[in-house]
Structure 1
Amino acid sequence: MRFRTVTSPHVLLETSVGLIMRRVLYAMLPGIVALIWFFGWGIGVNLVLATVVALLAEAAMLVMRSKPLASHLGDTSAVVTAWLLAVALPPLAPWWLTVIGVLSAIVVAKHLYGGLGYNPFNPAMVGYVVLLISFPREMSTWLIPHGLGQPHTLTLLETLQAIFGTAPISLDALTGATPLDVLRTQLGLGLSVTEIRNSPVFGIVAGHGWEWATLGFLAGGLWLVYIRAAAWQIPVGMLSGLAVIATGFYLVDPQHYAPPWLHLWSGAAVYGAFFIATDPVTASATPRGRLIYGAGIGMLVYIIRGFGGYPDGVAFAVLLMNIAAPTIDLYTQPRVFGARQR
């Protein structure tokens, strides 16, 4: 038998960084289509703008670091970072907001640490957190989803005018709080969960429109797990950790704490579990470690949502667990084959 290579490994997998990154982009498409349907053209504009800025920033940093352009740009890792961030931005986010977020992700969180494979923090979440802390008002201006009777549907031209600061119409009547914002605010006013759920922003399980986007990301995420482009332990651990702690508080006081299915289906829980937390560079690498890593993210998400200063906490939870990932891996190393157990 003639081997394909002189030295091991002799069995080569038909995979590459670029192939994995492109599969992540394909998996995001169902959720992106749902977001565009319910929240308008702004999602698509954000994606295009973020992609262009990410590729330009990536190319500039590669030139400064004397790295080859073709191979590094061809792995599409910069495009994945751009899409992960752009999907999380409000549909009418001003253009400069997207630019700042992408530059923070590509330049600061990625290349200043040595580029792909060396960054300790998820670049997209670094960019998101920079924007959320610096520009909270702009980051909370989401369009009212299609189907709730908004008085005006923005065309592509009007969307471009709004994003680039030349909109001829007032956007105040077109925007509103997200379901998690509504839940947090109304609970602070003393209303019960049952009363809050009667708000038109909520659908069957979670927020109107958001439910379908979450379903799209769930379908794409399960496909990534099926083709082994994402480790199943992390989303299972994250969603289980979120569900367990949410169920505990819900059983104690169901009128003050939202049910676990609302937490699982709201905000960026599913999106974060399959597309953010599974980043192979910044996540835990051992099988048991991935479960612990994911569970830690899920519990932190609930703590931030319920007791922190932000309605959703996926970005903060991921970054906090990025710090813990090396220690988790250190104490969850699998037993070496043939080694005697102590």
Structure 2
Amino acid sequence: MTETTVRLPDTTRLVVSSSPHFHEDASVRKIMLVVIAALAPACLAGVWTFGLRALWVLLVCTAACMLVEALCVKLQGRASTLPDGSAALTGLLLGMNLPVTTPTWMCVVGAVMAIGIGKMIYGGLGYNPFNPALVGRVALLMAFPTALTTWVAPLASPLQWAGVDSVTQATPLGTPWAGEQLFSTWELFIGRTGGSLGETCVPALLLGGVLLIALKIIRWQVPVCFIGTVAVITGIAHLAAPEQVAPPLLHIMSGGLILGAFFMATDMVTTPLGRMGAVIFGVGCGVITAVIRLWGSYPEGVSFSILIMNAFTPLIDRYTAGKPFGVISHPGREVKL
């Protein structure tokens, strides 16, 4: 070979693709598995608080969601999407939004609504405009309000996992506020109150949420703005009418606020792309949640607030996501270079 010979690279080692060309070792499957792992402490806390029946609800919801997705892709003639883990995560979140007394058949109905109506009808993962788990939860709440609002007290002892009769108990948000807190701050913090499986143990939820933020899987702006907005509005309302409105700390540690803020309002598919959009989304969720809790007929508002803001996500992205590199904006039109 002479010095003037041109040596071409081995074409078998070239990867031709469109931009962007920044790659990282991330995939849908890995992200879903990390989120499931982040939920594990809260799931264990729910089982510890309500007994093995809680584990059954979580398993049924997860298995049913996976089965429904498998049937949907089979009917559509597509390859299986179960390996990406999104159906399992949806089932786990659905179970965490249900009471421990939810009947098995109702868990299955919720899975059908979550996966079939909330996800696959739009084309599957990445195309759904609403959080699938919340679609299933709200559908069950509308269809079976009594079952979805019947709460039981935590077990007197975590060792009483078998043969224990459940005792109904009002949730902190469902108890009329009369200027006196019926549950101690410690009970609210560790979740020794009635509620859904995912409303227990604030430390476990925070541990998982901080992990997701540290790994940059979710944006911190959404949960911080969500929780902060609820705290500000309920705090002002409490100062204005302390005998009628519970203090902000009770609102923060009660209901599904922590679970929703860290694990459902941060869904990559149904939330805005940019930082400013995340701030607007979080504040919007907080405002709607506080308004429903303070002046609505329903004591909780997290699920409704997230679904409502999901509907505004495309509009928020339109005005906050920015323009792609190489696009010059002109009044009424865009020109690509």
TM tier, smaller = 0.7 to 0.9
For residue 22 of structure 1, the aligned residue among 26, 30, 33 is: 33
- Structure-2 change in CA distance of 1:10 and 1:289 (3 Å): closer
For residue 98 of structure 1, the aligned residue among 91, 107, 118 is: 107
Q: Which runs of 5+ in 1 are unaligned?
A: 160-169
Deviations 1:207-260 (A, max 9, x none): 752586222111101100100111111111211211111111112122211111
- Structure-2 change in CA distance of 1:336 and 1:103 (3 Å): closer
The residue number in structure 2 matching 1:52 is 63
- The amino acid across from 1:39 in the alignment is F
- The amino acid across from 2:188 in the alignment is A
User: Does the 8 A contact of 1:89 with 1:139 survive in 2?
Assistant: yes
For residue 180 of structure 1, the aligned residue among 173, 185, 210 is: 173
The residue number in structure 1 matching 2:16 is 6
Matched, 1:145 2:173: no
SS in 2 for 1:143: coil
The residue number in structure 2 matching 1:278 is 266
Matching of residues 27-46 of structure 1 within 5 Å: 27-46=38-57
Q: Measure the CA separation in 2 of the matches of 1:80 and 1:204.
A: 29
Q: Measure the CA separation in 2 of the matches of 1:260 and 1:136.
A: 26
- Structure-2 change in CA distance of 1:60 and 1:193 (3 Å): same
The residue number in structure 2 matching 1:213 is 201
The residue number in structure 2 matching 1:165 is none
User: Does the 8 A contact of 2:140 with 2:148 survive in 1?
Assistant: yes
User: Does the 8 A contact of 1:43 with 1:91 survive in 2?
Assistant: yes
User: Does the 8 A contact of 2:273 with 2:321 survive in 1?
Assistant: no
**Cα displacement (A) at 1:74:** 0.2
- Structure-2 change in CA distance of 1:335 and 1:114 (3 Å): closer
Q: Which runs of 5+ in 2 are unaligned?
A: 1-8, 194-198, 332-337
The residue number in structure 2 matching 1:75 is 84
Q: Measure the CA separation in 2 of the matches of 1:114 and 1:11.
A: 27
User: Does the 8 A contact of 1:225 with 1:231 survive in 2?
Assistant: yes
- The amino acid across from 2:234 in the alignment is A
Q: Measure the CA separation in 1 of the matches of 2:330 and 2:187.
A: 48
User: Does the 8 A contact of 2:222 with 2:261 survive in 1?
Assistant: yes
Q: Measure the CA separation in 1 of the matches of 2:179 and 2:265.
A: 29
**Cα displacement (A) at 1:10:** 4.0
**Cα displacement (A) at 1:6:** 3.5
**Cα displacement (A) at 1:143:** 2.2
For residue 299 of structure 1, the aligned residue among 264, 287, 296 is: 287
Matched, 1:86 2:104: no
Q: CA RMSD in A?
A: 2.5
Q: Measure the CA separation in 1 of the matches of 2:324 and 2:24.
A: 23
For residue 232 of structure 1, the aligned residue among 211, 220, 241 is: 220
User: Does the 8 A contact of 1:90 with 1:139 survive in 2?
Assistant: yes
**Cα displacement (A) at 1:205:** 6.7
- Corresponding pairs, count: 313
User: Does the 8 A contact of 1:104 with 1:130 survive in 2?
Assistant: yes
Matching of residues 187-198 of structure 1 within 5 Å: 187=177, 192-194=178-180, 197=181
- The amino acid across from 1:119 in the alignment is N
User: Does the 8 A contact of 1:84 with 1:124 survive in 2?
Assistant: yes
For residue 305 of structure 2, the aligned residue among 312, 317, 327 is: 317
Deviations 1:265-290 (A, max 9, x none): 11111110010100111111121011
- Structure-2 change in CA distance of 1:323 and 1:9 (3 Å): closer
- Give the TM-score normalised by the residue count of structure 1: 0.84
Q: Measure the CA separation in 1 of the matches of 2:135 and 2:119.
A: 10
Q: Measure the CA separation in 1 of the matches of 2:324 and 2:102.
A: 50
- Give the TM-score normalised by the residue count of structure 2: 0.86
SS in 1 for 2:230: helix
Q: Measure the CA separation in 1 of the matches of 2:20 and 2:269.
A: 22
The residue number in structure 2 matching 1:162 is none
Bigger radius of gyration among the two? 2
User: Does the 8 A contact of 2:209 with 2:263 survive in 1?
Assistant: yes
**Cα displacement (A) at 1:154:** 4.4
- Structure-2 change in CA distance of 1:29 and 1:4 (3 Å): farther
The residue number in structure 1 matching 2:145 is 136
Deviations 1:127-173 (A, max 9, x none): 000111111111122221134x89x9441xx58xxxxxxxxxx64xx
**Cα displacement (A) at 1:333:** 2.9
Structure number with higher helix proportion: 1
